[in-house]
């Protein structure tokens, strides 16, 4: 790893003005203060959208002709699986930005994204199993889609474990970022698994290139739930990142001031 | 971009490309083993491994399901449009098992080319429709079929006049 760390460390100091905005974004203090202003609005939006989607999907959407009411688990399963995969890209891109630009905040975002993604992946696998038993006749099968999704869970767990495998925060961040980048290859495999192989899992219902193979009355609440999960993900990611900022910057004067102001007020 | 950052960006791209290449080759090697089931055509042509545990998947042929009166024994045929394979199973079938729907049977193919299944799974498609819409669609399909038949009959009749 030495050749890698040598190449990845030693940051330059002078930078052209066109990149200045990027560095301001990377200041933990700036991010902490700004995100504090966004959080109440984002949380409120997430709550409203999720509540709307859930009530709409679970109570008002029509039942499926073949599956009856058991299909309604789609309103949790599909958004969770979506975000588990999008969240992996967010984690890997944050890792790449950390490796290239040495931005402290991006490593914090990467670390924060891992447990959220792991949880969402678990939710997707668990709801799939609950639905699979009555529908397919089995909780679990080793088909390409389900196995590649399990690998995603292990990748998230790997990134989480690597964070604690090193004494130095910098070394842990670099190692996690490299693992996260290597693991991105799994995302297109998950996505395409149902087309590349014969699987028990059905092909995608929602596609970018064509209309969804789902009745509009069922699809609209699903769309609302997906938007709601994205908002929820943003809230969760910001909260976790803020925690990490406070933990890593606890010795800086601005965090000390913040804490004494909170304690005093 | 600063040259050092450019160098690190290239390194990041190299990591991703190398990983994609390695994993891509593994996936390519696994392309057959990655399949969850064989089609009836693959089994009958002998492409699927013989005398071993395997899974077969296809559409349950309409009217092929036979049940025993006094046990959980069931026999049916699945097809991939090319060949069909007879399946025998003793046990409970999943809720979504039906004629005209996809099913996957796991077990061993015996000497009579009958798959003695230990487990039957129902495969669901990616379509979701409310019951009223499904009924309407079925009714429309039936009406169309009848119309077609009538048309054919008429054509036959008019043909006989000529």
pLDDT, one tens digit per residue, over A211-243 is 888 889 999 999 999 999 999 999 999 999 999
Give how far A54 is from chain B: nearest CA, Å.
Answer: 18
| Helix A144-163 with A104-135: angle, nearest 10 deg | 150
Give the residue from A94, A136, A196 with the most B CB atoms within 10 Å of its CB, the best one to mutate: A136
Average pLDDT of every residue of chain A: 89
Query: B4, A63: Cβ pair inside 8 Å?
Result: no
B residues 46-85 near A, CB within 8 Å?
Answer: 57
- Confidence (pLDDT) at B127: 84
- Confidence (pLDDT) at A209: 77
- Confidence (pLDDT) at A187: 95
Q: Please say if the pLDDT value at position B154 is more than 90.
A: no
Q: Are strands B102-109 and B54-60 parallel, antiparallel or unpaired?
A: antiparallel
- Confidence (pLDDT) at A147: 93
Q: pTM of this prediction?
A: 0.85
Q: Please say if the pLDDT value at position A72 is more than 50.
A: yes
Q: Please say if the pLDDT value at position A92 is more than 70.
A: yes
Radius of gyration from C-alpha coordinates of chain A: 21
- Confidence (pLDDT) at A213: 86
pLDDT, one tens digit per residue, over A165-176 is 999 999 999 999
- Confidence (pLDDT) at A196: 87
Q: Please say if the pLDDT value at position A11 is more than 60.
A: no
How does residue A119 score in pLDDT terms, banded at 50, 70 and 90? very high
Beta carbons of A249 and A256 less than 8 angstroms apart: no
- Residue B121 and residue B107: Cα distance in Å, rounded? 12
Query: A99, B8: Cβ pair inside 8 Å?
Result: yes
Domain residue spans of chain A: 36-57+71-205+226-260
- Confidence (pLDDT) at B140: 82
Range with the lowest mean pLDDT among A29-38, B38-47, B88-97, B151-160? B151-160
Average pLDDT of every residue of chain B: 86
Beta carbons of A99 and A110 less than 8 angstroms apart: no
ipTM above 0.90? no
- Confidence (pLDDT) at A12: 45
A residues 43-62 near B, CB within 8 Å?
Answer: 62
- Confidence (pLDDT) at A120: 98
Q: Are strands B114-123 and B84-90 parallel, antiparallel or unpaired?
A: parallel
**Assigned token pair, B112:** 């009579």
């Amino acid at each position: 790893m030495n050749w890698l760390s040598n190449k990845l460390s030693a940051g330059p100091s002078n930078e052209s003005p066109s990149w200045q905005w990027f560095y301001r974004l990377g200041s933990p203090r700036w991010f902490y203060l700004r995100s504090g202003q966004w959080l109440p609005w984002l949380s409120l939006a997430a709550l409203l959208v999720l509540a709307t989607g859930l009530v709409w999907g679970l109570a008002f959407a029509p039942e499926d002709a073949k599956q009856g009411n058991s299909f309604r688990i789609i309103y949790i399963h599909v958004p969770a699986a979506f975000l588990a995969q999008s969240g992996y890209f967010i984690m890997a891109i944050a890792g790449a930005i950390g490796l290239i630009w040495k931005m402290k905040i991006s490593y914090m975002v990467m670390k924060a994204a891992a447990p959220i993604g792991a949880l969402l992946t678990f939710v997707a696998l668990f709801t799939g199993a609950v639905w699979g038993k009555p529908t397919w006749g089995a909780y679990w099968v080793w088909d390409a889609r389900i196995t590649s999704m399990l690998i995603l869970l292990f990748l998230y767990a790997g990134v989480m474990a690597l964070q604690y495998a090193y004494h130095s925060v910098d070394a842990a961040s670099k190692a996690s970022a490299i693992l996260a980048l290597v693991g991105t290859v799994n995302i297109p495999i998950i996505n395409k698994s149902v087309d590349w192989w014969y699987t028990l899992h059905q092909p995608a219902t929602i596609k970018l290139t064509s209309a969804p193979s789902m009745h509009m009355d069922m699809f609209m609440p699903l769309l609302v739930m997906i938007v709601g999960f994205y908002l929820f993900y943003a809230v969760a990611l910001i909260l976790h990142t803020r925690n990490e900022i406070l933990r890593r910057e606890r010795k800086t004067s601005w965090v000390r001031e913040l804490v004494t102001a909170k304690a005093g007020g | 971009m600063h040259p050092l950052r450019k160098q690190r960006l290239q390194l990041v791209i190299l990591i991703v490309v190398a990983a994609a290449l390695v994993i891509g080759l593994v996936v390519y090697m696994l392309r057959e083993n990655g399949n969850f089931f064989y089609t009836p055509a693959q089994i009958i042509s002998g492409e699927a491994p013989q005398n071993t545990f395997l899974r077969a998947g296809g559409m349950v042929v309409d009217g092929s399901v036979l049940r025993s009166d006094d046990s959980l024994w069931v026999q049916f045929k699945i097809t991939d449009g090319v060949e069909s394979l007879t399946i025998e199973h003793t046990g409970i079938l999943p809720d979504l098992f039906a004629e005209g729907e996809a099913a996957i049977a796991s077990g061993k193919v015996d000497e009579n080319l009958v798959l003695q299944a230990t487990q039957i799974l129902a495969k669901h498609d990616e379509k979701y429709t409310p019951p009223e819409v499904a009924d309407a669609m079925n009714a429309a399909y039936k009406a169309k079929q009848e119309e077609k038949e009538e048309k054919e009959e008429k054509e036959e009749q008019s043909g006989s006049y000529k």
